[in-house]
Amino acid sequence: MINKQVGDLAAAMLGIQSGAALMISGFGNAGIPANLVRALAPMDLTGLTLIINAIRRLDDCDAALFNEQRISHVITTAFRGPGAMPANFEAQWQRGDVTLEIVPQGTFAERIRAGGAGIPAFFTPTAAGTTLAEGREQRLFGGRMCVLEEALKADFALLRAQKADRFGNLFFRGTQANFGTAMAAAAEITVVEVDEISATPLPPEQIHLPGIYVDRVLQAPRLD
């Protein structure tokens, strides 16, 4: 019998090892898996790769991932802290302790989508003619210069949704889905924190992400 519900954070985070690549969903304050991210910092992991839209959202999770020097590589669309002074992660990047791949947001989303959809690479007009395209394969399609982009995959994806059932089917509220649907398909193991685990199966027409992409579901209240 399938039951993807887990009882606590330890079970939710089981198996994450040093050197793992982690996709973390969320945009603004919507769909941030803050309980799961906060549980990462004390786990004594090193050399993690984070694939996350905006790195400063980690601060909103009160997660000391950079303070604890857990992160070695970041793939993101926004690697900037608030204020004029460098944030801790910016300082670590400048010192070379953290390496960085900065990606346009649509390319970021599509690389993750491709990763879950069996597409190893694709061409996009985004970033053609910019410094981001330097040294990369570019080709003309229909008279338009395009850049080759490779798919992204990860060991774990961390998401927040409104509701799940025991099959791992998800319902998102508001703009919670954002990168989560693509990340869930692109990761080996997908862990989701939800407001509510429904005792009955979610109505099929209201499922935003089928349970095939979800491995673990933890009921946890929204932090903050």
Partner 1 sequence: MAKPLNRDQMAWRAAQDLPDGAYVNLGLGMPVLAASHAPVDRDIFFQSENGILGVGALPEPGQGDRELVDAGSRVVTLRDGASIFDSAASFAMIRGGHLDITILGAFQVAANGDLANWDALMADKGPLIGGAMDLAVGARAVYVIMRHQNKDATPRLVDVCTYPLTAVGVVKRIYTDLAVLDIDARGFVAREIIPGLDRADLAAATGAPLTFAADCRDLTAPKFDDGD
Q: Which residue in 69, 104, 138, 166 binds partner 1 (CB under 8 A)?
A: 104
Q: Which residue in 43, 128, 197, 202 binds partner 1 (CB under 8 A)?
A: 128
Both tokens of residue 156? 């774990």
Q: Is 9 left (phi over 0), alpha (psi -120 to 50) or beta?
A: alpha
Distance CA 26, CA 175 (A): 9
- 178 touches partner 1 by CB under 8 A: yes
3-class SS of residue 114: helix
Q: 78 or 202, CB closer to partner 1?
A: 78
- 138 touches partner 1 by CB under 8 A: no
Residue 100 burial by Cβ neighbours in a 10 Å radius (0-12, 13-18, 19+): middle
- 78 touches partner 1 by CB under 8 A: yes
- 175 touches partner 1 by CB under 8 A: yes
- 22 touches partner 1 by CB under 8 A: no
Task: Specify the stretch interacting with partner 1 by CB under 8 A; choose among 7-15, 62-70, 129-137, 197-205.
Answer: 129-137
Q: 43 or 60, CB closer to partner 1?
A: 60
**Minimum CB distance to partner 1, residue 67 (Å):** 17
Q: Which residue in 11, 15, 19, 28 binds partner 1 (CB under 8 A)?
A: 28
Task: Specify the stretch interacting with partner 1 by CB under 8 A; choose among 10-18, 43-51, 171-179, 198-206.
Answer: 171-179
Strand partners for 5: 217
- 213 touches partner 1 by CB under 8 A: no
Residue 114 burial by Cβ neighbours in a 10 Å radius (0-12, 13-18, 19+): buried
Cα dihedral sign, 105-106-109-111: negative
Distance CA 84, CA 43 (A): 31
- 55 touches partner 1 by CB under 8 A: yes
**Minimum CB distance to partner 1, residue 25 (Å):** 9
Q: 26 or 40, CB closer to partner 1?
A: 26
Angle at 186 between CA 90 and CA 40, to 5 degrees: 45
Distance CA 48, CA 83 (A): 26
Phi, psi (rounded to 5 degrees) for 71: -105, 135
Q: Which residue in 19, 42, 47, 174 binds partner 1 (CB under 8 A)?
A: 174
Give the interface size with partner 1 as a residue count (CB under 8 A).
54
